[in-house]
Structure 1
């Protein structure tokens, strides 16, 4: 029954865990899909929030690639709103969940490194940006992505004024973009301006105009912005009117793109090269736009900081709640486990207790049986043998004395299950003399030496009782088996020990003889009084036995 309870508890826990896992997977997919929907609709605030929610559920599922996906998307959003440090932080966090050895992780790795490079480049850390672009190229597998990252790397070299390195990359890219007019125009425009930056006397205008023409034809508005910017810079030293013309085109195109940064770049050029009245107008526009842009970016940063704070707070609250729930679960598990253990241990203890009681009862019964058997043997069997010996060896049978002895045996047999105190302890030497002498006959001579009152004065009642029955057993065995005609018993007192020397001239111990209950009981009795018994079989004829035991 206990095993059944344990099995049911385990199945219940597994069932709950399975249901929780399915629920988590459903919620995680829902948050993730919603985050992508908001991102594609350019609702960056909502996208950021749902990517954070999806990340937490991916964490609970221990889905590392799901966590990385959410972090990379959140990092790109942060970088795009101008929170470059926040974007870098999220991208670096994403790296801890990506494995460079796994092919499925590589798409996230190259996008993540590209975001780190862009954020570093915007912070004017070009050397760091170049390293991150190299890593993005290393893990990119799509050719168009590789071309984009190479172009970005060349731009970083250009920003670092390492024009030769930039030009080497642009020249390689030019031959790989023949089938993509937009990419070709971008590389051609970059080559032209880089050559001009290396050599101010270089005529970059034909290549810049060719790139401009392609972009106009392809309606590449972002590319047009770049072309207007490069041509404006080139005309600064050649034709101020052309500089202003293309700067105004850049401003109009940037307004169409709603690119505040590109509008500011165009206004900077117009402020620098326009005449006084127009310059003041452009300056006012610049201040207003710059102020609005900084305010918007600060608000965006603050908004995203607040979103991060709320997300972390929600995460912290969830962790606290999970901890509390876990603690409650653990308490329930511990209580259940302890209860089960108590039941198991209680059942085990009860079973062992019953076994112990049964064994103890059986042992007690057996001991009582043995003790009763010994008493029957001592009182009845040996007593009867003594009476029989006296009847056999007496010439004049004293009927009354024999009847008295039989009556004594009868009384003792009635109380055989009770422990009786010995009588006449002060005359124990006389009791022994009568016992030993009772085995005397016309054919058997009994000699007793050293059995005095003083010898037994300090011996306990228990020992006296055992000694009497030990000697009775020896004498009975002598009469039954030894065929002896002469028996001597010598009692000695040596310091704190009494020794009894028994000797007869009988047949001795027969080889292979089995000890019956009598001799077995004798050995037990000697052990009870912490004594020892020695059979001396080296005598020429008969048997010698030495018994010794402490006085107290």
Structure 2
């Protein structure tokens, strides 16, 4: 529940920079920008609020009002944190801090405290707990407000839990529980119990968990209730799956009520693991919400970047265009119609030449990149996998045949030379079924027993040499990845032909294959090869044990 908790703190922090400060010589226009931003912020129209805070910042800088500029930037940073633009948020807060020089001034100290707390929250979301802890310590250093210090203690304690520094975490959380604010106190009680239990599994945190839950129920604090539900769901996960599921579903219901997609995702993650009977239903919902969050965050990041930098660029470009326009008008008045037409013609020709040159340059760069990718793919398939196949044979042979190994390495070497000269394979007299048999057999060892069925030569008779070459590389890639990653002891290949389609089924009894391997360079090449021969490949990694892959492709 760390994310839910931190989002609550972001909302709280948002109002820290809204308190009144001593009046400065600010024009009505500048006051209007800042007030307009606060108006949109209070209405939760954050993109408009961000836009006007940025305008307010620029106007404050024109009259050297560093406090006003800093507060505008801090509010922008907090909005960025809330919408997931964490790097942008840290950048905005860092810029704000450069305007806060007088550390003895109470307003400066308050703003620095709020800014560093925001940087800590953004760093925590980026899982950079070392930076988060440093920023929270700075927030405490500059804080003079007794109420806010309990929030900072809680934030610091939460980050220390993530660092497994439970002793120090408990120290700060013991400070945090002294808060008279119900929301802050309940949060601290919950986190303190979690720190104690994580440090010592024999500790019983339930009395404190339920105490925090009771406070939140009395206050009807729905965000806080979600935190308690998540904590209790995690606690009962290994003790009582039924109770864990009950609290996870309560968390999902509450998160839906308050429209908190982050908490909905966390609740769904728990439910998916526990309620296997409704796995598809909840997984589809999880994917839908997760996609929506990512789209929303990317949109917000682009929008914030445009407001901060795009508008400035447009202003500069507009000024340049105005200057160029005026200059051209003066020149046109000084020239006659003939010279003007000639000038325009020359300018147009130059622009066309530059564009054409740039286009040709881009086309050449794309061709070079395509050739490099093609060459890289060939090196991976022919050289890397070829060498790995030789290594596998040597590893699995009881009697090492040095000459044979050298012959095979020389073959791989010749293949690598062929790649550099873009030569194609010629004169191969071995039937393809035999090549497949030898390839699969070469991965036989004391630990791995590969079997194949249906691999007769008539299966391949009307399959072109180009397709056979792609299939050979695909099978070798599957075997290499099996040897490297699967820990399988049994591997089965089944070849079958139906009408004009050849089906290849791969099965093993290994540990399955992680998503990062499926989308890694090797198997990514496999997928591209299948697409090249107009085939399909399906990875089934959800079986009880092992991996199943179905490949099909047309014979012609």
- Change in CA separation of 1:320 and 1:39 when aligned onto 2, cut-off 3 Å: farther
2:304 is matched with 304
Aligned-pair CA distance for 1:275 = 2.5
Aligned-pair CA distance for 1:58 = 1.1
Alignment partner of 1:181 is 2:179: no
1:281 is matched with 281
Spell out, residue by residue over 1:234-283, the C-alpha distance to the aligned partner (whole angstroms, 9 max, x if none).
Answer: 1012100000000000100111121111100000000111133x112111
Alignment partner of 1:140 is 2:143: yes
CA RMSD of aligned residues (A): 2.3
Q: Contact 1:55–1:71 (CA<8 Å) still a contact in 2?
A: yes
Aligned-pair CA distance for 1:149 = 0.6
1:204 is matched with 205
Q: Contact 2:153–2:175 (CA<8 Å) still a contact in 1?
A: no
1:25 is matched with 27
Provide the C-alpha distance between the structure 2 equivalents of 1:319 and 1:28, rounded to a whole number of angstroms: 22
Aligned-pair CA distance for 1:314 = 4.4
Spell out, residue by residue over 1:290-324, the C-alpha distance to the aligned partner (whole angstroms, 9 max, x if none).
Answer: 11111111122122222233322245358769999
Alignment partner of 1:194 is 2:195: yes
1:123 is matched with 126
Provide the C-alpha distance between the structure 1 equivalents of 2:194 and 2:107, rounded to a whole number of angstroms: 39
Alignment partner of 1:113 is 2:109: no
Q: Contact 1:49–1:311 (CA<8 Å) still a contact in 2?
A: no
Aligned-pair CA distance for 1:26 = 2.4
Give the unaligned 5+ runs of structure 2.
1-23, 325-556
2:82 aligned residue (80, 83, 96) = 80
- Change in CA separation of 1:318 and 1:92 when aligned onto 2, cut-off 3 Å: farther
Aligned-pair CA distance for 1:77 = 1.0
Alignment partner of 1:165 is 2:199: no
The within-5 A match list for 1:334-353 is none
The within-5 A match list for 1:360-509 is none
Give the unaligned 5+ runs of structure 1.
1-21, 325-552
Q: Contact 1:52–1:311 (CA<8 Å) still a contact in 2?
A: no
Provide the C-alpha distance between the structure 2 equivalents of 1:168 and 1:291, rounded to a whole number of angstroms: 39
1:477 is matched with none
Q: Contact 1:271–1:283 (CA<8 Å) still a contact in 2?
A: yes
- Change in CA separation of 1:193 and 1:141 when aligned onto 2, cut-off 3 Å: same
Q: Contact 2:74–2:96 (CA<8 Å) still a contact in 1?
A: yes
1:509 is matched with none
Spell out, residue by residue over 1:323-371, the C-alpha distance to the aligned partner (whole angstroms, 9 max, x if none).
Answer: 99xxxxxxxxxxxxxxxxxxxxxxxxxxxxxxxxxxxxxxxxxxxxxxx
> Larger Rg: 1 or 2?
1
SS in 2 for 1:98: coil
Provide the C-alpha distance between the structure 2 equivalents of 1:323 and 1:140, rounded to a whole number of angstroms: 49
Alignment partner of 1:42 is 2:44: yes
- Change in CA separation of 1:91 and 1:180 when aligned onto 2, cut-off 3 Å: closer
2:96 is matched with 94
Aligned-pair CA distance for 1:74 = 0.9
Q: Contact 1:225–1:253 (CA<8 Å) still a contact in 2?
A: yes
Q: Contact 1:244–1:273 (CA<8 Å) still a contact in 2?
A: yes
Aligned-pair CA distance for 1:166 = 0.9
Provide the C-alpha distance between the structure 1 equivalents of 2:216 and 2:303, rounded to a whole number of angstroms: 37
Q: Which moved more, 1:192-201 or 1:238-247?
A: 192-201
- Change in CA separation of 1:229 and 1:136 when aligned onto 2, cut-off 3 Å: same
SS in 2 for 1:280: helix
1:349 is matched with none
